[in-house]
Every structure is written in C-alpha cells, then in structure tokens.
Amino acid sequence: MDARVSGRATFDLGVWSAAHLQRVEQALERWVSADAATDAEGGAPAELIAAMRYAVLDGGKRLRPLLVLAAAQAAQSASGERSDATSTPEVALRAACAVELIHAYSLVHDDLPCMDNDVLRRGKATVHVKFGEASALLAGDALQAMAFELLTPDDDAIPDRQQAALCRLLARAAGSSGMAGGQAIDLASVGVALTERQLRQMHRLKTGALLQASVMMGAACGDVSSQAKDALMSYGAAIGLAFQVVDDMLDVTADSATLGKTAGKDADQDKPTFVSLLGLERAGVYAQELLAQALAALARSGLPETQALQGLAQRLVNRSC
C-alpha cells in the first residue's frame, strides 16, 4: 500500500487528537467567554452567555473541528509545509471552532420541543431544559452568528477572499441545501416509509453536509489541486453518510448513558433509519463500505499527509458512542 495511505507506523491518532483538541477547547473557552457577559453598554446578557457556554463547552466528540484541522494539515502538506498542534494556522483554528459553533447551535435547536423534544444531550440536560425554551432558541441564534464572526476577524488574520470562501462553505452546509433542509425532511418523514435513496439524501443534508463542509473548510485553509479537492469532497461525502449509519445503529444497540443522549428515540418516534430500512447487519456492512470509499478517495488525492483524515474516518465508523 502507498506510504501516504498506510503511514500508521509513525502516526498516533490519539496523540494527534489530544494535542489539537486542547487548542480547540482553549479557543472555544476564549471566544465563548463569560467575560462577554456584562451589564455595561454593549455587553451580552449573562444568562444568554451562560446558555451558549453550556451548549458548547465540556462535551462532544469535536469530530467536526478535528476534520477541519486534519484537512488543513493535508492541504498544507501539498505545498511542502508541515504542521503540528503548536503551529496550527489561525485560519484553521477559527474555521474549526466556527464549525463546532454551528454544530452546537443545531443541537440546541434540534432538541427543542417543536423539533425532537429531547431532554438529554452530551450526558446532561438539554439547553431548553436547563435554561428554558426562549433562552435556548436565542443561544442557538447567537452561536450561529458567532460562527461567522469568527471567520471574519477585524485584523488581517484571514485574507478577505479566504473569509468569503469559508463563510460560503459553512453557510451552504448549514442552510436549506444542507443541515436545515435535511432537518425539514426529517420532520416531514416521521411515520413515512422512505426508500434507501430518499434516506441517503435526507442524511446527506442533515448530517453529511456539515461533516463534508468541515473537510472542505480545512482544504480551503491551504492551496490544493482540483484533483485533491474532488477527492476530499468524495471523502467528506462518504464519512458524512457513514457517521449517520453508525448513529442509527448505536441508537438501537447502545444505552443512553453510553451515548450521552436518549437511546431508542428513533424507533419510539417512528423515524426512518438505516437500521429500520436495511437491518442491523446490513447497516454495519454499509458503514464499512462507506469507510472503504473514504479511504480510497484519500489514496487518490495525491496529498502527502492524510493519516489524520484516515484515522478520523476509521474512528467515526468503528465508534461505540
């Protein structure tokens, strides 16, 4: 196998992830700051900041920011640059945190009574249970706005053209042609028998779009060829769908304590899933097929350093929570 794809002898995903997660957590703590809450003119209400921090900090796998940073590292390697957790470009860190803020906002809104009406998220009470529905709605709105604020700093940390490209990628993934559109289809599909094609399309939007955008935002932090960009698009599409397939399987096989969210919810709400359509065994096979597609895409990308992207794909497919 090509050394660019094998590379595992000298790459430790656990070490890589821990180092990059530390930077992400520190940045989120800094940017979603309790200091922003003040009674002074121009300050944000303390209750709103508290709800935002509750939604974002101290929980979650941070898969999306890790995908941004892994893709940014691969993009840097294309031009002969090498990066580690101590030299992550400012643009990549901002993009990673912006994606996580969008993800957090989507969870806050998805858990609301008018959506999925869930009471458990990341092992703790959902935001609307803790702070009330109105505060949860506003916290989600504010997190969404903050994501784009991070991508458009006042200084010269991110060139204007790069700001525009990152904002477009994120907005498209979060909007009607992405996450919001997928959620609308999901809500309209309760009790409806979807075909496999329809189910794939729903989850390409609802879950896959933001995961794919994470990869492409990382790529936009560097300068990659059209061949590499196409390959990363395919990689992102494959892992985006694989993530949801595994999520559907875990909803059946894991308990709420393990998942950190309500298990068995899909069946209780009569939602179409890959398990209900394919069965548990076939769904597992499909997840592995998608993993193979993702790794094959990386192999044809021509990028020298894709070990982190490989490892993240394997981790998300073979996870137990």
Give per-residue pLDDT as tens, 104-125: 999 999 999 999 899 999 889 9
Say if residues 295 and 6 touch (Cβ distance below 8 Å): no
The residue type found at 130 is K
Name which of 36-40, 142-146, 185-189, 232-236 the model is least confident about.
36-40
The CATH architecture assigned to 11-224 reads Orthogonal Bundle (1.10)
Residue 10 has pLDDT above 50, yes or no: yes
Residue 8 has pLDDT above 50, yes or no: no
pLDDT in tens, 34-80: 776 654 556 789 999 999 999 999 778 999 999 999 999 999 988 77
Q: How confident is the model at residue 137 (pLDDT cuts 50, 70, 90)?
A: very high
pLDDT of 38 reads 59
Report how far residue 277's alpha carbon sits from residue 161's, in angstroms, rounded to the nearest whole number.
Answer: 44
- Show the DSSP H helices in the chain as ranges: 3-6, 13-31, 46-56, 63-78, 90-110, 127-131, 133-150, 160-174, 179-188, 196-203, 209-219, 226-253, 256-259, 265-268, 274-278, 280-299, 307-317
Give the domain ranges of the chain.
11-224
Report how far residue 83's alpha carbon sits from residue 201's, in angstroms, rounded to the nearest whole number.
Answer: 36
Q: Quick one: average pLDDT of 287-297?
A: 98
Q: Quick one: average pLDDT of 187-209?
A: 92
Residue 86 has pLDDT above 70, yes or no: no
Q: What's the token pair of residue 273?
A: 């899933």
**Longest alpha-carbon distance in the chain:** 61
pLDDT of 122 reads 85
Report how far residue 178's alpha carbon sits from residue 292's, in angstroms, rounded to the nearest whole number.
Answer: 24
- 8-state DSSP, 45: P
Say if residues 291 and 240 touch (Cβ distance below 8 Å): no
In this structure, is the dihedral angle defined by the CA atoms of residues 21, 27, 31 and 35, taken in order, positive or negative?
A: positive
